[in-house]
Homo-oligomer: A and B are copies of this chain.
Amino acid sequence: MEYKIKSRIWIEVDNNVLLGEGRVRLLNAIEKTGSLSKAAKSLNISYKKAWTLVDAVNKSAKKPVTQSSIGGKGGGGAILTPYGKSLIEAFDAINKNCWKHLDTQLEKIQSL
């Protein structure tokens, strides 16, 4: 019976979403696995969905966020660009800050 404040933040450009929590999760998984298909598996989403998300991010970001290669040893792969890495870092920092900030506000509602 306790109230909780929850939040979602995201970055938009030209009125469409560039980056939200889900996309950041996916980019993190790409960084960890070096592959879009492995990242998708680790998050239990379809490859198609993962690809669509990454494609949307790359199309609306100022600079590409991932770089991918097709064929060759291991079939190919995907890695984050330096811009991509700093972007998700900044996002996570802002998000955590926001949670902290909201936690301090909760008492305003509890005490009613």
Q: How many copies of this protein are present in the complex?
A: 2
Determine whether A70 belongs to the interface, using a CB cutoff of 8 Å to chain B: no
Q: A86-B112, A98-B98, A105-B97 are in contact. Are A6 and B5 (CB under 8 A)?
A: no
CB nearest to A101 among chain B residues: B101
Contact between chains at B13 and A5 (CB < 8 Å): no
Chain B residues positioned under 8 Å from A3 (CB to CB): 11-13, 18, 62
Evaluate contact between B97 and A98: CB separation under 8 angstroms: no
The contact sample of 14 A-B pairs, CB cut-off 8 A, is A3-B11, A4-B12, A4-B13, A5-B9, A5-B10, A5-B11, A6-B9, A7-B9, A83-B112, A87-B112, A90-B109, A94-B102, A94-B109, A97-B105
